[in-house]
Structure 1
Amino acid sequence: MILATAEVSAKPFGYLDTETNRTFVPLRYLSEHFQCEVIWDAEQQKIFLSREDMDIALTVGQHQVIVNGELHALDGVPFIDQDVTYVPLRFIGQHLQISLEWEAGTQAVVVQDQYRTFRLPIIQRGSLNGRKAIELTEKTFIVGSKQIRSHVLAIDLLNPGVQVTVGLARDKVGQVAELKQIADTNQAVAAVNGTFFDAYTDGDIQIPYGFIVSNGELVHPSTEKRSVLVVGPNTDLEIVSGDVFPARLQQGAVTAAIQAGPRLLTDGKITVNPEAEGFRDPKILTNSGARTALGITDEHYLLLVTTPAATIPELAEWMQKAGAVQAMNLDGGASSGLYYESSYITKPGRPISNALLIQYSDPEAD
């Protein structure tokens, strides 16, 4: 018998088994995030979990499970998928005193004990095949009586080679640089413009507006109510209000964040309310113009979008038609830009303050 710790996968996510309506989690997730001791017996396909005074023994493919010496039955059996072992989350969570809360809007489970909270993305079992790490397309949707054409970059947030971060122009708050320069300096394969900033000042310093977190560090504070994209350590994304973000930041596990707004979609519904977020400029409230937006789909893709002319409500409807369930606006107008694989897809008309960046390393490359 060979005993070994659980296998390692780069980004944890759960599987939803639609036949049993049960969610399964990789063993590594429990061992790394909730300090469970995990032993994997490869010869007998057995799993041993322990935490404090709780011991659980499971076997791949079997309904029987032993908890502190007592026999129990599982509705869904442990299984192996692509060399990763998955166990039923709810049963394990109940016995390890880990609370679970389903978030329909993000298609994730919030997993929490008395010490920490994590968001675990969930996909249907079997849906991982055929996903592309990054894909550029051009899409046109009819919004009202208007055809709106947009460039769309779809990024697979579950891909172990994908990282989402934020870069500053010349690595300093208040500086500006070309979008290409920000991307190349940070070795990013893709980038879009980020927060609003003081683009019309005559001075050398052009201060950004809104929260910015880069490399886990709050580099620019804010008191704005505007929407914030929050990036977690496993490239889990969420959009929160500026009022909520300080508390979210205090909870930790924020690797990057960028504040812009207004919010476009919440849980698949159009929720445009720029006045409530503190916007007063007609460029946001009523006018049509070049736009940049980001969206998150229920299949855990990040959509980066640029379009030459749309109002904010039109942009929200366009993002909804594109499949986003969460979405927010970024800086636009002459700042609107999309950069991918060393080329501009949409070239900004001016240097910008900061950018949302996509870094990618092919996990199958030598």
Structure 2
Amino acid sequence: MNSIPPLGGIGVFTPDVWSYITGAPTDGWEVTVKGGIVSGVRHASTSNHFVTREGFLVIGRGAAGELLKDIPTGTPLTLRIQWVDDGFTGLDNILQAGPMLVKGGQKVFDPEGFSPRTLSVPHPRSFVGSDGERLWFVVIDGRDPWHSNGTTIAETAAATQRLGLIDALNLDGGGSSSIWWSGKIVNLPPGGVVRPVPYALVF
């Protein structure tokens, strides 16, 4: 959902996240659905990757794309979301993040499928945690030998313990690690450059 599918996979893109898909693959087929009806089917290499406000866009690659290309225009098509994990049912907001750093005050050494480079190489890091009374949002700068190299995941977990956090979760790091406070960026992003198209936790 709202992410580029792998070869052989299908991705669904909704207007609450996308208006135009950047980095869309050109090796598949796209189906535009407007008002619950298929309004267009085209090869991704000839598409503008536009997501209509009145519907959604489906991209299929490889064998999945071959299934999409023969859907006739005018076919009714609806989007139904079903959570695989019942624990997500009824939640208004869900944060994609990881891995878990500390749980119950103890370090958690579970890679959760993240690459070794993501875990073991120092990077800028962002994390959220709780000390039982307050919620902490922390950014660790990195990739700057004159300022900070960043931390590994193990070092980040150790930092959460030094702060007295009981539970802490790693967020997206690298060039995404920034804090905006009182109208300005208050940390030093890698290279001094802020991401031009950010996503953020806002409160």
Q: Normalising by the residue count of structure 1, what TM-score does the alignment of the two structures yield?
A: 0.30
Which residue matches 1:319? 160
Which residue matches 1:248? 87
1:173 maps to which of 7, 14, 17: 17
Opposite residue 140 of structure 2, the aligned amino acid is: T
Deviations 1:243-299 (A, max 9, x none): x9831222x2x232211101000011110311xx111251x2210011111111112
SS at structure 2 position matched to 1:354 = coil
CA separation of 1:255 and 1:310: change in aligned 2, threshold 3 A = same
Which residue matches 1:290? 124
CA separation of 1:345 and 1:272: change in aligned 2, threshold 3 A = farther
Counterparts of 1:70-109 in structure 2 under 5 Å?
Answer: none
Instruction: Please tell me whether the aligned partners of residues 306 and 337 of structure 1 are also in contact (alpha carbons under 8 angstroms).
Output: yes
Which residue matches 2:109? 272
2:183 maps to which of 317, 322, 342: 342
Percent identical pairs in the alignment equals 31
Counterparts of 1:134-153 in structure 2 under 5 Å?
Answer: none
Instruction: Please tell me whether the aligned partners of residues 99 and 110 of structure 2 are also in contact (alpha carbons under 8 angstroms).
Output: yes
Opposite residue 113 of structure 2, the aligned amino acid is: G
Gaps of 5+ in 2: 1-14, 25-82, 142-149
Opposite residue 126 of structure 2, the aligned amino acid is: T
1:351 maps to which of 179, 193, 196: 196
CA distance in 2, matches of 1:315, 1:343: 25
CA separation of 1:270 and 1:340: change in aligned 2, threshold 3 A = same
Is residue 2:103 matched to residue 1:262? no
Instruction: Please tell me whether the aligned partners of residues 337 and 346 of structure 1 are also in contact (alpha carbons under 8 angstroms).
Output: yes
Opposite residue 248 of structure 1, the aligned amino acid is: G
**1:316 CA drift (Å):** 0.5
4+ long deviations beyond 6 Å? none
Instruction: Please tell me whether the aligned partners of residues 174 and 353 of structure 1 are also in contact (alpha carbons under 8 angstroms).
Output: no
CA distance in 2, matches of 1:328, 1:289: 16
Which residue matches 1:305? 138
CA distance in 1, matches of 2:123, 2:19: 25
CA separation of 1:246 and 1:353: change in aligned 2, threshold 3 A = farther
Opposite residue 202 of structure 2, the aligned amino acid is: L
CA distance in 2, matches of 1:175, 1:347: 30
Is residue 2:185 matched to residue 1:333? no
Opposite residue 261 of structure 1, the aligned amino acid is: G
CA separation of 1:335 and 1:204: change in aligned 2, threshold 3 A = same
* CA radius of gyration, larger in: 1
Gaps of 5+ in 1: 1-170, 177-202, 207-243, 359-366
Matched positions, count: 120
Instruction: Please tell me whether the aligned partners of residues 176 and 198 of structure 2 are also in contact (alpha carbons under 8 angstroms).
Output: no
CA separation of 1:352 and 1:269: change in aligned 2, threshold 3 A = farther
Supply the RMSD in Å over aligned alpha carbons: 2.8
CA separation of 1:245 and 1:324: change in aligned 2, threshold 3 A = farther
SS at structure 2 position matched to 1:304 = strand
Which residue matches 2:47? none
Deviations 1:104-131 (A, max 9, x none): xxxxxxxxxxxxxxxxxxxxxxxxxxxx
SS at structure 2 position matched to 1:328 = strand
CA separation of 1:175 and 1:344: change in aligned 2, threshold 3 A = farther
Opposite residue 278 of structure 1, the aligned amino acid is: G
